[in-house]
Structure 1
Amino acid sequence: MQQQPNFISNYDKAKVLVTALPYIQKYYGKTIVVKYGGNAMISEELKDAVMSDIVLLTLVGIHVVLVHGGGPEISDTLKKMGKESKFVGGLRYTDEETMEVVQMVLAGKVNKDLAQRIAGHGGRAIGLCGLDGAMITAEKKQGMDLGLVGEITKVDVSVIQDALDKKYIPVVATVAAGEHGESYNINADIAASRIAAELKAEKLILMTDIPGLMRDVYDESTLIPVVQVSEVNSLKRDNIISGGMIPKIDCCVDAVRRGVNRAHIIDGRVPHSILIEVLSDEGIGTMFL
């Protein structure tokens, strides 16, 4: 027997829109910063879902800034050039040649591809990087030697705000300017956190490859939906926050302490996870406040 296609009645569609209305009203005219990476950046289906989410939010009057990484694309380009990617403590070592590739891939290929995809969904995007208008300035990261990996010294969001005022969706690659004309590779989570703070954003959303913060990393049912920033140190002591989650959660904490209303870690593997977080009762992932 042939299986009948799933069908949503017009009434059910209307109910969905009415349910979203209070959230559209709540966030109308507010700014949301989305850090985009992980599997959501590799899967074509998830790419389209993210771009359509961003365009939809923009069309209902919510200002969205998309901050992106591009590690896999950088590694692929280096491989094609015959240059091996080098990592120190899990972080990419960035020599001068690698930095040229980082700037070319992030501020060029990836950035413009995302702007074009947004346009394909009817949005108006403008591709930017931290070098534009001295948006992000940095100095060499202290501690372990990672080459031209930088620590942010200043963020000036004037260019981003101008783009938002003109109804564009800013798409930001995280390459920063040094004081002696050099460029630095900047962690995209940290850059998104600082940009959100300077914009006085309502939300910072970090898209990841896990459901959020879990008490047991092997059991998704132990997801912690809400965390007060004052609880983070005790969660670290209890080893609930550990490993690769520490820097991401530190970015969320820093954003909230700098004035962002809410910070979220959500599962970018879930189609339309941004809409679920912003426009639904349930939300998704872990919220920090």
Structure 2
Amino acid sequence: MGRRLNVTKVGGAALTDPSFLAELTRHVHTLVENDAAPLLVHGGGPEIARLHQRLDIPFEFSEGMRVTRGESMEVVTMVLAGLLNKRLVARLVSSGLRAVGISGVDAGMLRAAYLDRDRWGEVGGEPEVQPGCLYHLLDRGYIPVVAPVALGPDGNAINVNADLAAEAIAVALDAPDLDFVTDTPGVLRDERVVGTLGAEEIERLIEEGVVSGGMIPKLRAARRALESGVIRVRVGDLRSLEQETATEAVLL
């Protein structure tokens, strides 16, 4: 491939914001101009909830995770592999970028076991990556845009956390760079960005309540990625990532 691979994970909520889509498109152009090979992974939580409500399909959470069964899994697949994936790909392609939208089911690229089917339904744990199709696209100059729907052990599509998917893909492809895009300029402590965060500090910050909610799986994924060989893992908004002021997780 020759170019430096950058795996970027973006949240689903941001993909409903036209101004964010414009900023993200510009960011990807900047990566390409700097001779990077971008690969995007996206989530879709808020849009999934909205479509459940529009279709009058009940849904619930257990221990902070969405319970995904039957019709609910159909909604998840529609939103992740369809609506949001194609919305993002259309924006990138219309700007001149060679983006290709795929889900983890395609070519069996992401495979996962059920996390706890009785409790959460069609929800998978950390996926295994078969990177062949990703290498095929990257080697030909395409930008993969990955929806985190994986192939389950029984041949059905299952939902996996997008942070886990981004981590697993970065590790499998030996990507030197993994970025988690958030709506804050980084990990905040006393309203100030933590510039450098040691991997061993992450659990302590979680225990102290300094970080919470959706930041927790991102930081845990960051730690595992570093421990598995990813060189640089950053957390922040697009501006802070470009200005090199985002939080950088490091192994000390």
Out of 226, 242, 249, the position equivalent to 2:196 is 226
Q: Indicate the structure (1 or 2) with the bigger Cα radius of gyration.
A: 1
Contact 1:69/1:174 (<8 A) preserved: yes
**Shift, 1:214, TM fit:** 2.0
Work out whether 1:86 is the aligned partner of 2:60. yes
**Which residue is equivalent to 1:14?**
none
Distance 1:151 1:238 in 2: 26
Letter in 2 for 1:232: I
Contact 1:38/1:208 (<8 A) preserved: no
Deviations 1:185-231 (CA, angstroms, capped at 9, x unpaired): 00001100111111111211111223322223xx2xx3211012133
Out of 29, 32, 43, the position equivalent to 1:55 is 29
Question: 2:221 is paired with a residue of what secondary structure?
Answer: helix
Instruction: Tell me the C-alpha RMSD between the 2 structures.
Output: 1.9
- Identical amino acids, percent of aligned pairs: 36
Question: 1:110 is paired with a residue of what secondary structure?
Answer: helix
Question: 2:141 is paired with a residue of what secondary structure?
Answer: coil
Distance 2:36 2:88 in 1: 19
Residues 255 and 119 of structure 1: CA distance in aligned 2, closer, same or farther (over 3 Å): same
Deviations 1:243-272 (CA, angstroms, capped at 9, x unpaired): 5432221010011111111111112xxxx4
**Shift, 1:49, TM fit:** 0.8
Work out whether 1:136 is the aligned partner of 2:110. yes
Question: 1:106 is paired with a residue of what secondary structure?
Answer: helix
Contact 1:86/1:93 (<8 A) preserved: yes
Contact 2:14/2:21 (<8 A) preserved: yes
Deviations 1:130-169 (CA, angstroms, capped at 9, x unpaired): 0011111011113981111111341111111111111001
Work out whether 1:277 is the aligned partner of 2:251. no
- TM-score calculated relative to the size of structure 1: 0.80
**Shift, 1:83, TM fit:** 0.9
Out of 50, 64, 76, the position equivalent to 1:102 is 76
Work out whether 1:252 is the aligned partner of 2:205. no
**Shift, 1:29, TM fit:** 1.4
The farther-off stretch of 136-145 and 32-41 is 136-145
Distance 1:58 1:172 in 2: 18
**Which residue is equivalent to 1:148?**
122
Where does the alignment leave 5 or more consecutive residues of structure 1 unmatched?
1-27
Distance 2:215 2:140 in 1: 36
Letter in 2 for 1:134: G
Question: 2:185 is paired with a residue of what secondary structure?
Answer: coil
Question: 2:125 is paired with a residue of what secondary structure?
Answer: strand
Out of 147, 154, 158, the position equivalent to 1:173 is 147
Question: 2:41 is paired with a residue of what secondary structure?
Answer: strand
Residues 243 and 83 of structure 1: CA distance in aligned 2, closer, same or farther (over 3 Å): closer
Contact 2:127/2:150 (<8 A) preserved: no
Distance 1:176 1:286 in 2: 29
Letter in 1 for 2:11: G
**Shift, 1:57, TM fit:** 1.4
Residues 114 and 253 of structure 1: CA distance in aligned 2, closer, same or farther (over 3 Å): same
Contact 1:52/1:118 (<8 A) preserved: no
